[in-house]
Structure 1
Amino acid sequence: MTETTIPHNPNAYASTRPPHFTVRTSIAEYSMDRQRNMHLGRMHAKYLYEPAFRLKDVNFDLNRGHGTFEDKENENEGITVMLEWINANYPNGGSLRKALHETEFFCWRGLLTKIATTPYATKDAWASRAVRRKGVIFLCQFETEAERQRKENMSARDKLMTYWGYSFESYMTIDEPGTEPSTSSVVSRREEFATVCRGDLTAPDGSRLRLLYSAEIDAIDHAGGLVEMKTQRGELEGGFWRWKAPKWWMQSFLVGIKQIVVGHRNDNGYVRKLSCVNLDDLKASKQAQWRPEVMLALLSKVLHTIRINLLKEDDACIVEFQPDMKNLNSN
């Protein structure tokens, strides 16, 4: 077993030419119903309730419905869902890599976000398995010990605050254009709508990584654009620019989202203000203490290192980050 250590300090990438990331959205779409069965298309897509922005007084109680909230029964089903999508689209036979648009890596958007934002999220441990199958490298995130302990130690207040984000979506989304939000319905994470995106990460030397990744989508706007929704305590100030802003930017950038809908809440879980944050403004703000180029450079470095280590069929490795260290262990 060999071990490769990749630097994650932003200064390590400050003087390097950044890679270029080209996002090609809408390779495919699928929905999951409450029984977690997959359906190709937009069966469970939600649409942005845009009249909410014309409200004179915003007063969304995010605590509403907490007692009947339907959470996912299995948080670690990621690789199963990805394989189910492959089987639904491409029956056995033929070249898997060709069927997956000549991709080299297949994963969830969330893992790419975690890897890329590591230079600015130095307290967040993460881990992933990587395995090469039929010319495609599958990346599957798994729960670290730190994450497991954090979940086990969550207080009732922590769980309620986590719910607030899903509750906000229920105020801001509708099932069909032209209708109104059904705020009396059960808030559920079991239904979801997702897109599959193709991204090309091109290094300064011209070498290119082809990625295919799936991402859950909060809503679709009237023009067909994908929408991300967030709740934020008060205004976008202070620590937001150091910790949250790079995650918000990378998460939306990877699927071509241009604006993020924000519900500004108080400590009691009431949204009193709505705003839209433009991704370009988020990146260009003088308050931003992060650089997209650094995140893309680290993502490129990590993926290139995985590709170098996994050259043969069934080659596998573990990629992990622990605070103050990053190890790439390969068999």
Structure 2
Amino acid sequence: AKSYRRLEPRKGVAAPMAATRRVVSEQRWLTPLRVRLEPEADGAAPRASPYREPVELAHFSKTRKRGNEYDNSQLKRYLRPSLPCDLSEGYETFRDRDRGDSHPADVTPIFESLRRAGRGLDERELAAADVLTWRGNFAKVLATPWNTRDTWHMEAELVHGVTVLNVVEPEENVRREAKRQGHEARMCYWGFSFEEQCTGGSYDQPIDCLNSFCTVVRTGVGRHRLIMGGEVDCWDGERQGLAGYIELKTTRVMDSAPQVARFERDKLLKWWAQSFSTGVRRILVGFRDDSGAVLKLQTLETLKLPGYAARHPGAWDPKTALHFADRLLTWLRQHLDALAPGTRVRLEYEPRRANWEVRCAEPAAGTIRDFLPAEARAALARAAALRAASGVGTPSG
């Protein structure tokens, strides 16, 4: 089985945004955001959107039995597994999450973890923040300029100067997950099993995908300062915080040049977007065969992933990804600033139906359920008061 060779990164091209407006019966469609535009007429390179290195602010653990615990009890240490290892082991007792849940990631523990960190951390960080969300949302945005297949939706509300982005699964994704069975369902399990294999698991207890460790980081792109939560698979047992965290991934062994090309163009983009967003520096990959046996391990450095794709036409690159994320957050903030307080909107990117546009819908009042508990709104209100007292606005406000 062939692997792939390390290449040097190349620079990319980004583009500004465009606009139109239309109104549909029960909801208003606001000006969409063009994902891809022609290069600037004068040939000038697009401006860069710098990304601030993530800093860990807090962390918490999620469990099925006990809910959220604000400690590192679910952070597991990496232990190299013996090869080959069978990823189908334990499948019969696997405890999955509810795949019919269209809102699988509540933002509440992000707020609570900051509060429990003490020393007024929540108020200070929220006062300076522009956006709060989960890593998965931001990773989807980063990958959008090359996304020709995967639909994504998000919900958003501007609360006391902070844009809160909620995770929502489109109906078509929920239906597809519900139909998954047989070998396809088993393949989805293999990722969880690999985590168990790499953290000394013995399969004496059922693997539960709801048990996880999450980090909360401060970062930023362009003028936008972000607070993000993201799951962490394990740590190296030596370095503390982000420097020691490791992402675990599995993929099929590759035995042809086209397979390597698809891997570098598609899968590495998603892996980079996930790990780069929250500052995870290493990805341990288990290369498996079609039966789910891991035959080889390889560690990849997150910052070097763009170089692997650089030789392919239309390759993805960090500059384009970050510039698009900057544009999207600016575009969204402009819409939210123009709407009445408390208005919630839905972002939609549907590559099979849209003409390379991210659309923004303002549904009828009450259509999008309130995704922020009273405690989170109170924290944002206190942060806004602190911001006003200091005379400093949010980065994009």
TM-score (norm 2): 0.73
Residue type of the partner of 2:92? G
Equivalent runs, 1:280-299 vs 2, <5 Å: 280-285=303-308, 286-287=310-311, 289-299=315-325
| Kept in 2: contact 1:97–1:135 (CA 8 A) | no
Q: Are residues 1:229 and 2:257 paired? A: no
Is residue 144 of structure 2 the alignment partner of residue 128 of structure 1? no
Of the structure 1 ranges 30-39 and 14-23, higher mean CA displacement relative to structure 2 is found in 14-23
Does the CA-based 8 Å contact 1:129-1:319 persist in structure 2? yes
**Aligned residue in 2 for 1:9:** 36
Quote the residue 1:259 is aligned against: 282
CA contact (8 A) 2:110 2:216 kept: no
Report how far residue 276 of structure 1 moved. Answer: 0.5
Letter in 2 for 1:241: E
1:247-269 CA-partner distances (Å, limit 9, x unpaired): 11111111112221000000011
Q: Select 1:108's aligned residue among 126, 134, 158.
A: 134
Q: Does 1:182 align with 2:212?
A: no
State the partner residue of 1:178.
none
SS at match of 1:147: helix
Contact 1:96–1:135 (CA under 8 A) maintained in structure 2: no
User: Given residue 108 of structure 2, which amino acid in structure 1 is its aligned partner?
Assistant: L
Contact 1:131 1:139 in 2 (8 A): yes
Q: Which residue of 2 aligns with 1:35?
A: 65
Partner of 2:348: 320
* 1:43-94 Cα distance to aligned partner (Å, 9 max, x none): 11111114x4xx5xx11100100000011247555553x2144246439xx9
Cα deviation, 1:190-238, whole Å, max 9, x if unaligned, reads 2110000111112xxxxx1011110010001132311101001003713
Measure the CA separation in 2 of the matches of 1:106 and 1:136: 7
Q: Max radius of gyration: which structure?
A: 2
- After TM superposition, the score normalised by the length of structure 1 is 0.86
Deviations 1:152-206 (A, max 9, x none): 33231111100000001111014xxxxxx4243321112110000111112xxxx
| Aligned mates of 2:196, 2:109 — CA distance in 1 | 27
1:247 corresponds in structure 2 to 270
CA distance in 2, matches of 1:116, 1:162: 23
Counterparts in 2 of 1:61 and 1:115: CA distance versus 1, 3 Å: same
Give 3-state SS (helix, strand or coil) of 1:118's partner.
helix
What CA distance in whole angstroms lies between the structure 2 residues aligned with 1:267 and 1:78?
A: 29
**Residue 361 of structure 2 is aligned to residue 329 of structure 1:** yes
Q: Whole-Å Cα distance in 2 between the matches of residues 213 and 272 of structure 1?
A: 34
Match of 1:214 among 220, 229, 238: 229
Residue type matched to 1:192 in 2? S
Partner residue, 2:9 = none
Q: How does 1:64-143 map to 2 (within 5 A)?
A: 64-73=89-98, 75-76=101-102, 78=104, 80=106, 82-87=107-112, 89-90=114-115, 98-100=124-126, 102-143=128-169
Percentage of pairs with the same residue? 27
Equivalent position to 2:178, from 149, 152, 158: 152
| Alignment correspondent of 1:45 | 75
What is the CA–CA distance in structure 1 between the aligned matches of 2:113 and 2:298, rounded to whole Å? 38
Quote how far apart the aligned CAs of 1:100 are.
2.4
Q: Equivalent of 1:302, from 324, 328, 339?
A: 328
CA distance in 2, matches of 1:231, 1:86: 32
Q: Secondary structure at the match of 1:71?
A: coil
Cα distance, 1:12–1:306 mapped onto 2, change above 3 Å: farther
Identify the residue that residue 205 of structure 1 maps to in structure 2: none
Q: Is the 8 A contact 1:90 1:99 kept in 2?
A: no
Gaps of 5+ in 1: 175-180, 203-207
Q: Which shows bigger deviation, 257-266 or 288-297?
A: 288-297
Partner SS state of residue 157, structure 2: strand
**Aligned amino acid, residue 70 of structure 1:** R
Alignment counterpart, residue 218 of structure 2, candidates 180, 198, 201: 198
Q: Quote the Cα distance in structure 1 between the aligned partners of 2:247 and 2:199.
A: 11
Structure 2 unmatched ranges of 5 or more: 1-27, 364-397
